[in-house]
Amino acid sequence: MDEKDTIVASATPLIPSAVGIIRLSGEDALQIGKRLFSLPEKVEERKAYFGRIRDREGKTIDEGLFIYFKAPRSFTGEDVVEIYPHGSVPVMKRIIGEAVHFGARLAEPGEFTKRAFLKGKIDLTQAEAIADLIEAKTEKASRVALNLLQGRLSEKVNRLRNSLLELISLIEAEINFPEDIEEIDFEEIKKVLKGVVEQIGELLKTYKKGQLIREGIKLAIVGRPNVGKSSLFNALLGYERAIVSEVRGTTRDFIEESLNIGGIPVKLLDTAGIRETEDKIEKLGIEKALEKVEEADVVLFVFDASEGLTEEDLKIYEKVKDKSPIVIGNKSDLLDKSEKKYYFKDVKDVILVSSKTLENLDQLEEKILHKLNLLEDSDTDVYINLRHYGSFKKAKETLEKVLKNIGDYRDRKEILMLEISEAEKALEEITGEITTEDVLGNIFGRFCIGK
Ligand SMILES: Nc1nc2c(ncn2[C@@H]2O[C@H](COP(=O)(O)OP(=O)(O)OP(=O)(O)O)[C@@H](O)[C@H]2O)c(=O)[nH]1
Ligand SMILES: [Mg+2]
């Protein structure tokens, strides 16, 4: 990728729509824009012009709007031109083709954002946040991405870095001017390092939850035949997706559908009822059901509360016990609650629901979120991703090593300084103060073209 080229791409998907956006970024953006669009001699920045979009022969392709964002006051920090034709696929393609004819190059995925990063308009956590925001499947995921985009993680990282940098300069001063400077208080160093380690620990804890919010959770419904798994599946989905019948063994293959529970993207799986059977196809379905249990973040184990617990239920429960499933007594509408039939062995918090009347389904959803610790959060929460996790972990481990042997550094202050710098550098990787082509390739390769 040559950073000097002027790049062009559609910023909107190429599907028929009212308006499309074509974006150019780079030194020649305005000059190319002028050839594409009928404009006055002097083009003002950040002003919308209405006019004709023309091809190389001056023939009109479409009419639309034109805006010029002069460097550095643009998304990429370079000269940017945006043209808004009608969102017609052939029109958009033709304009892009003409822009290339006039000297632009087709942008690679994420290249606009990469340029914004390289020009210092955004840091790496913010660039990642743009991809997260675009890909967000729920409102909650978009809110979490927005927090990163607004620099909430960068602020935290920079605060931690500053604490370390202050220590480094203090130690350095003492090394260089031992006569003029008071001897460093090692207790103070310990205190600062401990504080940093603690805060990094808190951030590390946010990784798992962040992953669930971004990527979603997998729920598998299991149980013996006819307890109402498919009915529960449909009830949670809100429509009749799976076949329900009083015949045991109705569901043969697993069914997977997406929904959203409390802002978390969910993949919900209905599986074949588990039982001893000679039926070849049903057997295969049962094997698959057990595989799905392994993959699930939460297992919903269903039994028929109106019949009470059976030997068959217990056998299946033994198979899935390790996943600490949520135990659901279904068909509560048929239950005489005074009979306490829904007592389930050693499981204390059986939840009674009715897939027919939808009784208690809200509580079930809440229980699922609670189980994954997804209930409590605030609008400003920051959740780190895997890349941040790696760097934070490296910083934390380095500092913990220093803390463990802090006494040994009294006569080796240079080493102490180096070790603290190493941790500080790990933190720099997060915001992208230090990067490699590999890291950039990974991050920007995730983007769609035009972003
Ligand atoms: N009254 C009542 N009936 C229910 C409820 N849930 C399911 N049923 C009935 O129970 C029967 C079995 O329901 P399904 O959802 O097909 O059961 P399943 O567990 O998916 O069964 P398999 O696919 O065979 O393993 C059907 O006749 C449903 O109408 C409920 O909450 N209340
Ligand atoms: Mg079923």
* pLDDT at site 345: 65
**pLDDT tens, residue by residue, 86-106:** 999 999 999 999 999 999 999
Name the most confidently modeled range: 2-16, 58-72, 254-268, 427-441: 58-72
Q: Could you give the CA distance from residue 436 to residue 148 in angstroms, rounded to a whole number?
A: 21
Count other C-beta atoms under 10 Å from residue 339's C-beta: 11
Indicate if ligand 1 lies below 6 Å from the C-beta of 149.
no
Whole-angstrom CA distances from 203 to 132, 153, 177, 200 are 18, 9, 37, 5
Task: Specify whether the backbone of 152 is left (phi greater than 0), alpha (psi in -120 to 50) or beta.
Answer: alpha
Count other C-beta atoms under 10 Å from residue 40's C-beta: 9
Q: Could you give the CA distance from residue 140 to residue 376 in angstroms, rounded to a whole number?
A: 12
pLDDT greater than 60 at residue 47: yes
**Domains of the chain, each with CATH number or no CATH:** 7-122 (3.30.1360.120), 134-211+384-445 (1.20.120.430), 218-371 (3.40.50.300)
Name the most confidently modeled range: 15-29, 236-250, 315-329: 15-29
Mutate to test the pocket of ligand 1, among 222, 244, 330 (most ligand atoms within 8 A of CB): 244
3-state DSSP call for residue 41?
Answer: coil
Nearest-5° Cα angle at 233, 232 to 239: 105
Q: Could you give the CA distance from residue 218 to residue 206 in angstroms, rounded to a whole number?
A: 19
pLDDT greater than 70 at residue 215: yes
Mutate to test the pocket of ligand 1, among 221, 222, 224, 226 (most ligand atoms within 8 A of CB): 226
| Amino acid at position 383, single letter | Y
pLDDT greater than 60 at residue 340: no
* pLDDT at site 68: 98
Q: Which residue has the tokens 């204390």?
A: 348
Extract the tokens encoding 384: 């780190």
Count other C-beta atoms under 10 Å from residue 438's C-beta: 8
Q: Can you tell me the mean pLDDT for 220-230?
A: 96
* pLDDT at site 337: 64
**pLDDT tens, residue by residue, 369-426:** 999 888 776 666 899 999 999 999 999 999 999 999 988 888 888 999 999 999 999 9
* pLDDT at site 342: 58
In percent, the amount of the chain with pLDDT more than 90 equals: 70
Contact (Cβ atoms closer than 8 angstroms) between residue 241 and residue 232: no
What would you measure as the largest C-alpha separation in the chain, in angstroms?
90
**pLDDT tens, residue by residue, 169-213:** 999 988 888 787 777 888 999 999 999 999 999 999 999 989 988
Indicate if ligand 1 lies below 6 Å from the C-beta of 248.
yes
Sort strands 255-261 and 298-304 into parallel, antiparallel or unpaired.
unpaired
